[in-house]
């Protein structure tokens, strides 16, 4: 098992970087745009995503990402496998079910390491729980075209590299925002997915001593 996985398994049982890490990748209003809602209302829908780590052929850890199909919610954006929970379904069950539905990942093939901090996504009213898992081999991905246009992987080290981090001013829903994103695909990796992954990267930076 990769040494970072051993570190991460123990680290996820301790207090996490949480909101501070998440907000560093959050779009920030430049003018009078609305500020981000941080506290979920009682009506928030329970959701989860799967962060699956696995070693590539060179032994470097990678993460599975998806490009969502254009005709579904948040279509054309990069995301982690995941979605809303069914009634009486646990966060872990949701993450594994959605990963199987979206990219063909078999639940019995992964080891659950723990969870990262919740993230409330106000525009969809979802309270997202990121579930972190490990697989000792390279997964065979079978994207479901009804939900996923493309499934691809990215090395954790590449996400942590400052050269791949970009900040631009974007117009979003009639307001201007300063938007940080990772330039690792023809589509930018930004928003809630970037916020979730930045907490994982903070733990990786701890591990390598940055």
Tell me what pLDDT residue 185 has: 94
Whether the pLDDT of residue 71 is over 80: the answer is no
List for the chain the helix, strand, coil content (%; round to 5): 25, 30, 40
| pLDDT band of 192, cuts 50, 70, 90 | very high
Whether the pLDDT of residue 139 is over 70: the answer is yes
Which helix (H) or strand (E) segment holds residue 7: the answer is: helix 3-11
pLDDT digits (tens, 9 = 90+) for 7-57: 999 999 999 999 999 999 999 999 877 888 999 999 999 999 999 999 999
Tell me what pLDDT residue 33 has: 75
Q: Does the predicted model carry a pTM greater than 0.85?
A: yes
Whether the pLDDT of residue 75 is over 70: the answer is no
**3-class SS at 196?**
helix
* Cα Rg of the chain, angstroms: 16
Whether the pLDDT of residue 210 is over 80: the answer is no
Strand 165-172 and strand 61-68: pairing? unpaired
Sketch the domain layout of the chain as residue ranges.
3-208
Q: What is the mean pLDDT of residues 86-106?
A: 96
CATH superfamily of 3-208: Nucleoside Triphosphate Pyrophosphohydrolase (3.90.79.10)
Q: What is the mean pLDDT of residues 63-67?
A: 97
């Amino acid at each position: 098992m990769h040494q970072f996985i051993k570190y991460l398994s123990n680290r996820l049982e301790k207090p996490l970087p949480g909101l501070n890490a998440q907000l560093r990748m959050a779009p920030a209003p430049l003018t009078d745009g609305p500020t981000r809602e941080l506290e979920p209302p009682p009506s928030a829908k329970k959701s989860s995503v799967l962060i699956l780590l696995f070693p590539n052929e060179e032994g470097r850890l990678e993460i599975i990402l998806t490009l969502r199909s254009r005709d579904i919610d948040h279509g054309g954006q990069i995301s982690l496998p995941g979605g809303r929970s069914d009634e009486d379904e646990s966060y872990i069950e949701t993450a594994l079910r959605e990963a199987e539905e979206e990219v063909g990942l078999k639940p019995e093939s992964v080891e659950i390491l723990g969870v990262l901090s919740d993230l409330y996504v106000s525009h969809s009213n979802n309270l997202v729980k990121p579930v972190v898992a490990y697989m000792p081999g390279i997964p065979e991905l079978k994207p479901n075209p009804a939900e996923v246009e493309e499934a691809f992987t990215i090395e954790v080290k590449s996400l942590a590299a400052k050269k791949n981090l970009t900040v631009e001013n974007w117009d979003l829903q009639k307001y201007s925002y300063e938007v940080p994103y990772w330039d690792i695909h023809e589509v930018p990796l930004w928003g809630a997915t970037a916020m979730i992954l930045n907490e994982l990267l903070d733990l990786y930076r701890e591990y390598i001593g940055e």
